[in-house]
Amino acid sequence: MTKMTAAITGIYGWAPDYILTNQELEKMVDTSDEWITSRTGIKERHILKGEGLGTSDIGTEAVKGLLKKTNTLPDEIDLLILATVTPDMLFPASANIIADKVGIKNAWSFDINAACSGFLFALVTASKFIETGQYKKVILIGADKMSAITDYSDRTTCILFGDAGGAVLLEPSTEGYGILDSQNYTDGSGRIYLHQKAGGSVKPPSHETVDAREHYIFQEGQAVFKFAVKGMADVSEEIMERNNLTRDDIAYLVPHQANMRIIDATARRMNLDPKKVMINIQRYGNTTNGTIPMCLYEWEDKLKKGDNLILSAFGGGFTWGSIFLKWAYDPK
């Protein structure tokens, strides 16, 4: 029997217009363009401005673009999954809100939260619904409005994050394209280094939590950095070895964009030519679930049918993982 795999057959990315530059941040906190650039690689990030706008609005733009581009009708979609850490509200799932806003009525939908590895975890999850033969068209979105949980008085975190998102269409392939292998990990003991202190069931919102600025990202950067460098490099090497891939077999590494130095360390361990690494961190910063789909979207016209891609991420949780994917189509 021919094996069914889940192939990406279309992609669309979206970022809001407003751009927050390093120069502007220099006026907000005690930092410098030189420090931010040398420590992270980031020059600017996009921010979603406007009352009443949230992650679902980013996801909606991405899905609308995807449906149009792939000539897909909302009614054809069987399932919609959103990977995010900044849902519009704690419940209901923002995936439902996106489905409603774009007119997807015959599908079910849900959110996945795996911090910066969310797009990878959700891509593996989504692919299983295709591999079983149950569904023919699944939309997966990775989107975050990180500005909603960023403390713009904390120079150690506010320079890192931005808002953006992307959506992919997944369809069955019987010719060996799409997600061919994956390896994901979590280690909950890492939660102490990267989390949001209040707003959940342990510490519901109160005047005290707001006064203590506990509704923002808390990160011990150095600790996360050490785990991230090792985690992302180890798992990328593991997936290469398991699939007998050498540096020459890989068309691109598609890394989560958290820090240029983490990306470099991963590429070095894979012994990859720097030209084979997708990098747009300088223009978007860390958009959490948006980084990998935004890279794929911006590199789409360079990707050829049969290209081997390695997608890798590390993030809060801790969560980390890698996917081996064979690209399914030539530039259109």
Nearer to ligand UT7, 225 or 299 (CB): 225
Instruction: Report how far Cα 25 is from the mean position of its chain's Cα atoms.
Output: 24
Q: What is the nearest approach in angstroms of ligand UT7 to the Cβ of residue 216?
A: 14
Binding of ligand UT7 by 168 (CB under 6 A): no
70 binds ligand UT7 (CB under 6 A): no
Q: Should residue 280 be labelled a site residue for ligand UT7 when binding is judged by CB under 6 A?
A: no
- SS3 at position 152: coil
Q: Supply 22's token pair.
A: 């390093």
Piece of 28-36, 164-172, 245-253, 323-331 that binds ligand UT7 (CB under 6 A): 28-36
* 225 near ligand UT7, rule: CB under 6 A: yes
Burial of 158 (0-12, 13-18, 19+ CB in 10 A): buried
- The reply to whether 113 sits near ligand UT7 by the rule CB under 6 A is no
- How far is 17 from 195, CA to CA, in rounded Å? 28
Rule CB under 6 A: choose which of 315, 319, 323, 325 binds ligand UT7. Answer: 315
> Which tokens sit at 221?
């950067």
Pick 42 or 93: Cβ nearer ligand UT7: 42
Q: Which of 156, 186, 209, 280 binds ligand UT7 (CB under 6 A)?
A: 156
Nearest CB to ligand UT7, comparing residues 36 and 270: 36
- Annotated catalytic residue, options 46, 184, 256, 295: 256
Please report whether residue 27 would count as binding ligand UT7 according to CB under 6 A.
Answer: no
**9 scored as a contact of ligand UT7 (CB under 6 A):** no
User: Which residues, other chains included, contact 218 with Cβ-Cβ below 8 Å and sequence gap of 6+?
Assistant: 157, 194, 195, 196, 197
CB nearer to ligand UT7: pick between 37 and 209? 37
Q: Shortest distance, CB of residue 138 to ligand UT7, whole angstroms?
A: 25
295 is catalytic: no
221 is a site residue for ligand UT7 (CB under 6 A): yes
According to DSSP, residue 277 is labeled B
Closest CB to ligand UT7 among residues 35, 329:
35
Candidate list 22, 46, 96, 116, residue with the active-site label: 116
Question: How far is CA 133 from each of CA 18, 112, 171, 180, rounded to the nearest angstrom?
Answer: 42, 22, 10, 16
Residue reference for tokens 């907000």: 28
Helices of type H across 83-176: 94-102, 118-131, 155-158
Active-site residue flag, 116: yes
CB 293 within 8 A of CB 119: yes
Nearer residue to ligand UT7 within complex by CB, 137 or 145: 145
Strand partners, 142: 83, 166
Closest C-alpha to 185, from 85, 290, 317, 292: 317
Rg (CA), the chain: 19
- Residue of 72, 286, 287, 319 that binds ligand UT7 (CB under 6 A): 286
Q: Name 234's bridge partners.
A: none
Q: Is 286 among the catalytic positions?
A: yes
Tell me if 309 sits within 8 A of 300, measured CB to CB. Answer: no
Q: Is 40 in the site for ligand UT7 (CB under 6 A)?
A: yes
Contact 247, 303 (CB under 8 A): no
Number of residues that bind ligand UT7 (CB under 6 A): 20
Q: How far is the CB of 283 from ligand UT7 (least distance, A)?
A: 16
Residues whose CB falls within 8 Å of the CB of residue 176, separated by 6 or more in sequence, listed in order: 3, 5, 326
Minimum Å distance from CB 262 to ligand UT7? Answer: 6
Q: Which residues are catalytic?
A: 116, 256, 286
Q: Residues in the site for ligand UT7, rule: CB under 6 A? A: 31, 35-36, 39-40, 116, 155-156, 159, 221-222, 224-225, 228, 258-259, 262, 286, 315-316
